[in-house]
Amino acid sequence: MKVIETLWFTNINGCIGIVIVEEDVTGDRKAYIGPASGTDEKADTESILAWGNKFSLDTAQRIEQLLTKGSQEDILKQVADWGLFIVRLNNGDWMVGKGTHIYHLEITQNHYADPSVSISPDVGQAVAQAVEKLSGRRE
């Protein structure tokens, strides 16, 4: 097993580590979490691998979902429910609007002030803003 990364969290009560490893044969990656002394990184890493709990990808995704206030499934459901289009702009921002409005867009114009679309660097935020704009005038 090869250690890919170790993450350490310390406070007045102690130290907790997350060790991410890659299996030699399968190449699968796994994570383990556990308490550590905080005095010897190598010994703490070995202790977590031997005695720590498995930290599942599902748990990491749940934490991400809770921190970002919405999941990809929620975003996709809103897109489908409201009939929205999503476009990635050249600068990396996301443009979201009612699907029927896409035929009225001029690609040579700046649409940041367009009341029919929402633009944001975060796709979830752009979708939420579009839904908020459309909620008063749903077709």
Rg (CA), the chain: 22
Q: Where are the alpha helices (DSSP H) in the chain?
A: 41-51, 57-68, 72-82, 123-134
Report the pLDDT value the prediction gives residue 128, as an integer from 0 to 100: 84
Report the pLDDT value the prediction gives residue 17, as an integer from 0 to 100: 95
Give the whole-number percent of the chain exceeding pLDDT 70: 84
pTM, entire model: 0.51
CA–CA dist 30, 36 (Å, integer): 18
Report the pLDDT value the prediction gives residue 109, as an integer from 0 to 100: 65
Report the pLDDT value the prediction gives residue 3, as an integer from 0 to 100: 96
Where along the chain do its domains lie? 2-55, 69-134
